[in-house]
Amino acid sequence: MSDLKLVVNGASYEVTVDPAIPLLWFLRDALNMTGTKYGCGMGLCGACTVHLDGQAVRSCQTLVNTIGTKKVTTIEGLSADRTHPVQRAWIAENVPQCGYCQSGQIMQAAALLAKTPRPTREQIDQAMSGNICRCATYQRIRRAIQRAAGESA
């Protein structure tokens, strides 16, 4: 067990935790932030995507002892009232079906738009290629990202 200081969604946490625990389980079990989902456990599906200093990462593959001073942002911290442009676009385009993958999809899309405010279709497809949607709402996801890009300009 190790004492760690982490900043999650703007709040500081001092915790004693197994340093080899994946960030996903720390968020869900220790902080009760259940918006980040477990999908495959191997970093392949994207359901567990969060931001570390604005970069999209797979929380199931990110150990808490590797975070250091980086700031963690989860779907709960993206916007408390669903006013982030990506969240608004997701609602407007009626993206979710089952919804399981959507927090990871939204976090991946938000990271893309923060880095590339006006992405091309190819850039969107490339950035989102590691996020799997079992319901295959990929066209709506792309439209929502394009909408959010126009809104955040």
* Three-state secondary structure of 56-78: EEECCCCEHHHCCCCEEECHHHH
Give tens-digit pLDDT for 21-79: 999 999 999 999 999 999 999 999 999 999 999 999 999 999 999 999 999 999 999 99
Query: CA distances (Å), 145 to each of 57, 115, 140, in order?
Result: 19, 13, 9
Q: What confidence score (pLDDT) does residue 152 get? A: 62
Give tens-digit pLDDT for 111-128: 999 999 999 999 999 999
> pLDDT band at residue 13, thresholds of 50, 70 and 90?
very high
Residues 6+ apart with CB under 8 A from 9: 33, 72, 73, 74, 76, 77
CATH superfamily of 2-75: Beta-grasp domain (3.10.20.30)
- CATH number assigned to the domain covering 85-151: 1.10.150.120
For residue 153, pLDDT over 60 is answered with no
User: In angstroms, rounded to a whole number, what is the distance separating the alpha carbons of residues 97 and 119?
Assistant: 25
CA atoms within 13 A on the CB side of 1: 5
- Could you state, in order of their start, the residue ranges of all structural domains in the chain? 2-75, 85-151
Q: What is the mean pLDDT of residues 92-119?
A: 96
Q: What confidence score (pLDDT) does residue 151 get? A: 79
For residue 145, pLDDT over 70 is answered with yes
